[in-house]
Amino acid sequence: MTDFRKRIADSSILVVGDVMLDRYWFGEVDRISPEAPVPVVHVQREEYRLGGAANVAANAAALGASVTLMSVVGEDEAGEKLASVIHRSGIKGILKKDDQLSTTVKLRVSGRSQQLLRIDFENRPGNEVLERMTGDFCAVVDQYDAVLLSDYGKGGLGHVSTMIDAARAAGKPVLVDPKGRDYAPYRGATVVTPNRGELALVTGAWSSEAELERLSRTLRDELDLGALLVTRSEEGMSLFDDAGHFRVGADAREVFDVTGAGDTVIATLATLVAAGMPLRDAVPIANRAGGIVVAKFGTSVVGYDDLFGA
């Protein structure tokens, strides 16, 4: 695998999408509040991690790829902290600032080794800053080996169709982690990676493998998708492409925290594709990466040695 490590190191990925700052407060719980039936957490440690598209970028960087992250943040303390953590993670950040935007922050409070509360701070970026970011994307996309679009529904991919068209015109594979009930904006993508719940919102529920195959084929045909990769939790993964249905069983591990598992899967997939690995060869490895990360707490990354051994 030494040669493949070099191929990954020589590859470059452009990640675009909704970034978040994951803020953790860790503490001890030894009593219930006299004001309400809730635990009192004595906070003893604070930690910042990358969330959303930033976590996707961190996973690709952890595998050894050269990663550029393009997104929008607010002109606020959280935006500055996020930029700092991005830089420390070895990621090149191209962050547009919107003075009307509050950088998305997810604050998680944990005690006794479990999450007790999550508080979200967020709003949506303005169209003007999104247009500037799209222009920058089109100007640089030909410099990368793969494009990864991470949609968390926070508004950062308001011009995703233009980005996909530009990337495909430049001959670059485009991988999309989708959001919402309408996948029309992802038309022409190389691969879209919903989980089974997300796909059911778009296609409707299925009652058999044959029906799932039919629904997936219809969606691919309607949107001219190269492939559809459905992550199915304990049922593993299903890749639907021109060759048919490729099924990968679940990577059996103790599940500690599923936070960010989808980020790890698509980041691993994009990294391997950028390094020249065929999609069908990359899917089982991405599945293994997802199995590793669910055994960790919070948004975490999987390194090259975690995945392939030293």
Among all residues, which ones are annotated catalytic?
263
**What span, in angstroms and rounded, lies between the C-alpha atoms of 175 and 188?**
10
As given in the structure block, the two tokens for residue 12 are: 């470059």
Residue 270 Cα distances to 12, 162, 175, 264, 297, angstroms: 10, 20, 7, 10, 23
What's the chain's length in residues?
A: 310
Residue 119 Cα distances to 23, 43, 154, 242, angstroms: 10, 15, 16, 43
**What span, in angstroms and rounded, lies between the C-alpha atoms of 180 and 186?**
11
- Best CA proximity match to 269, nearest among 10, 1, 13: 13
Q: Helices 196-203 and 209-223: crossing angle, nearest 10°?
A: 70
Write the CB contacts of 286 (distance below 8 Å, at least 6 apart in sequence). 237, 264, 265, 266, 268, 269, 272
CA 233 vs. chain centroid, Å, equals: 16
Task: Give the CA dihedral 211, 213, 214, 216, nearest 10 degrees.
Answer: 120
CB-count exposure of residue 4 (10 Å: 0-12, 13-18, 19+): middle
Residue 116 Cα distances to 24, 49, 94, angstroms: 11, 18, 34
